[in-house]
Amino acid sequence: MKLQALVALVTVELKKLIRHPVNLFMNLLFPALLTVVFMITFSDPELGMSINSVVPGLVVYAVIFLIMTVAQSFSSERKLLRRLNTTPMTSSEFIVSQIISNMVTAMLQVIIVLVLAYLLSFRPESGFGGIFLAMFVTALFALSSVGLGLITATISRNPEMGVGLSFIFILPQMFFGTFMPLSSSTQEIAKFVPSHYLFNGLKLIFEDNWLNSSFFFDLAIISAVSVIVVVIGILLFEKYGKT
């Protein structure tokens, strides 16, 4: 794998983010809009929700939509992947460049959410050190979104199908892994949803309560699931995604 080729591919993918209005909106403007609306609407103590519970949910929202972006991107690049054998670019370089560029996008999304939340009075008890820790944990979780996007792209024949099927993975994480109220039965379901552990972990970080076994358990689950899912996604896409 050539580093120069990898850097060039990542640069091209990041430029697409700016040049395509739909990508720009979904990846950068949508998280910003969502943050402003949710912070104003749901961070009212009278609703039984605190800012510290809203912001982790917003971060989760932003990152899980990466599944749709990855699924759409890889589905639309099928023809390019079929022509890889006639170019100096390898499929490994292409896939790694996509993973890196989407990870960068995820971090931009998190920065946008946190900056806007800060401007709207969010003050994490853990200070800026907690912000950096939150970004690290979110970056680990973003790998699972990339992996689920690859799995979706594998079974999708076109970008439109990829977008539709991605919601199979997005919706459960939205409803069971963010700040949505959970009953005793849905709390059990949430234990099987990766975003549930990111939400819990971020909440503990922002409350400056992360030096306990609960946080490290969440971190272990996030890390294990992310690595497993992204490896499965790569293997499936390498084998079936080019047909």
Confidence grade of residue 46 (pLDDT, cut at 50, 70, 90): low
Does this model's pTM top 0.75? My answer is yes
Please give the pLDDT value at position 225. 94
Please give the pLDDT value at position 214. 93
Please give the pLDDT value at position 223. 94
Mean pLDDT over the full length of the chain: 81
Pick from 57, 63, 1, 31: which is nearest to 199 by CA? Answer: 57
Query: For 52-100, what is each residue's pLDDT tens digit?
Result: 678 888 899 889 988 888 888 777 766 556 555 555 556 677 778 778 8
Please give the pLDDT value at position 17. 67
Confidence grade of residue 50 (pLDDT, cut at 50, 70, 90): low
Question: How many angstroms separate the CA atoms of 7 and 39, rounded?
Answer: 37
Query: For 8-37, what is each residue's pLDDT tens digit?
Result: 767 766 776 666 666 667 677 778 888 888
In this predicted structure, the answer to whether residue 121 has a pLDDT above a threshold of 90 is: no
Question: How many angstroms separate the CA atoms of 73 and 189, rounded?
Answer: 30
Name the residue with higher pLDDT: 188 or 6. Answer: 188
Query: For 141-180, what is each residue's pLDDT tens digit?
Result: 999 998 898 889 888 878 888 888 899 999 889 888 776 7
